[in-house]
């Protein structure tokens, strides 16, 4: 598989193929799986994403065992349907999808980690928004997953994707970059434009800490995925408009890794600093666990 974004883009340009097609061939070579098997695996992941969004946006929605999160994807859905919104109903659909997915995760439901459970809402948030926005066919939706997965693998191999090692910039930041690259391709953009979208999306979230209240993947994780989804869409539009990042994508990924290593442990998923360390955050923690975390 490709080691850098630059290598991936260069291969696309040399072979005059989109990212998904280059990645599909590499996946076949590396796993020795047939093309049919790979599409079937992607379809299963797509179905898991779809089911999670549906579960949280129908009926009474879903709620976590702690009661900290849940029901807000339904609120967004009703809000979109009832009145003009500041962001526009279409864009808020991406937010709704992202929140829904992470509410299912917090409720111990089945989700697809993209690239992690804590950032599982960002990619499907964008994908299912574009499904309607661009009228994507089923094969195009699966190609979106191939492209986003390739970007995630490169980030993971050159930096990190876990909040415990790199903060939320490594989780939602990576997910946002993955979704941005795939969104560009879904809209007909080039591999180079996808690279620019990666750089822009990740740059926007550099330094984002991982400070889950009570150490649980609920607050502020659910809403950060909403931001990650919107950030990805904006980054993709900027790239499609011809805007560029002065810092190449691979260097942005390197900067994220450097920042992640320098973050204090209190803001790397320990539930000690940031929002988790606020008086209210501490009160919630004690209410759930009966004591403060060490």
Q: At residue 142, does pLDDT exceed 70?
A: yes
Q: Count Cα atoms within 13 angstroms, Cβ side, for 162.
A: 7
Q: pLDDT tens digits for 12-70?
A: 999 999 999 999 999 999 999 999 999 999 999 999 999 999 999 999 999 999 999 99
Q: At residue 294, does pLDDT exceed 90?
A: no
Q: For the chain, what is the mean pLDDT?
A: 97
- Which structure tokens are listed for 172? 């939602």
Q: What's the rounded Cα separation, in Å, for the pair 3 and 162?
A: 19
- Which structure tokens are listed for 276? 């988790």
pLDDT confidence of 1, banded at 50, 70, 90? confident
- Which structure tokens are listed for 241? 């408009």
Q: What's the rounded Cα separation, in Å, for the pair 61 and 33?
A: 37
Q: What is the pLDDT of residue 277?
A: 96
More confident call, 293 vs 185: 185
- Which structure tokens are listed for 87? 């962001």
- The length of the chain, given as a count of residues: 294
CB-based contact 285:68 (threshold 8 Å) = no
Residue 77: CB partners within 8 Å, gap ≥ 6? 57, 96
Q: What's the rounded Cα separation, in Å, for the pair 61 and 53?
A: 10
Q: What's the rounded Cα separation, in Å, for the pair 115 and 152?
A: 7
Q: What is the pLDDT of residue 292?
A: 75
Q: Which residues pair with 48 in a beta bridge?
A: none
Going from the C-alpha of 231 to that of each of 81, 94, 184, 197, 281, the distances in angstroms are 23, 11, 13, 10, 26
* pTM score over 0.85: yes
Q: pLDDT tens digits for 227-240?
A: 999 999 999 999 99
Residue with tokens 């948030």: 125
CB-based contact 245:200 (threshold 8 Å) = yes
Q: At residue 89, does pLDDT exceed 90?
A: no
CATH 3.40.50 fits 5-289, yes or no: no
User: What is the domain partition of the chain in residue ranges?
Assistant: 5-289
Q: At residue 293, does pLDDT exceed 90?
A: no
Q: What's the rounded Cα separation, in Å, for the pair 86 and 79?
A: 11
Q: Coil, strand or helix: which one is 63? A: strand
């Amino acid at each position: 598989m490709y080691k850098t974004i630059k290598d991936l883009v260069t291969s696309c340009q040399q072979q005059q193929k989109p990212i998904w097609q280059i990645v599909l061939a590499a996946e076949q070579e590396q796993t020795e799986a047939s093309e049919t098997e790979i599409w079937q695996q992607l379809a299963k992941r797509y179905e898991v994403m779809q089911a999670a969004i549906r579960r949280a946006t129908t009926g009474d929605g879903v709620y976590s065992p702690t009661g900290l999160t849940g029901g807000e994807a339904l609120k967004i859905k009703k809000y979109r349907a009832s009145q003009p919104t500041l962001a526009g109903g279409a864009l808020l659909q991406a937010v709704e999808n992202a929140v829904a997915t992470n509410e299912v995760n917090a409720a111990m439901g089945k989700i697809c980690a993209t690239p992690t459970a804590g950032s599982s809402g960002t990619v499907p948030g964008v994908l299912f928004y574009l499904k309607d926005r661009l009228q994507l066919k089923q094969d195009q939706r699966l190609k979106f997953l191939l492209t986003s997965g390739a970007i995630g693998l490169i980030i993971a191999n050159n930096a990190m994707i876990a909040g415990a090692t790199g903060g939320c910039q490594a989780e939602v930041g990576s997910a946002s970059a993955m979704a941005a690259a795939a969104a560009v391709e879904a809209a007909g953009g080039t591999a180079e434009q996808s690279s620019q979208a990666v750089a822009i999306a990740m740059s926007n979230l550099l330094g984002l800490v991982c400070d889950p209240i009570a150490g649980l993947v609920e607050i502020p994780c659910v809403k950060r995925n909403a931001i990650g989804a919107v950030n990805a869409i904006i980054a993709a539009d900027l790239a499609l408009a011809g805007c560029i990042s002065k810092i190449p994508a691979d260097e942005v990924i390197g900067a994220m890794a450097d920042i992640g290593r320098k973050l204090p442990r209190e803001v790397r998923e320990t539930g000690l600093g940031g929002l988790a360390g606020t008086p209210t955050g501490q009160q919630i923690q004690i209410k759930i666990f009966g004591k403060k975390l060490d």
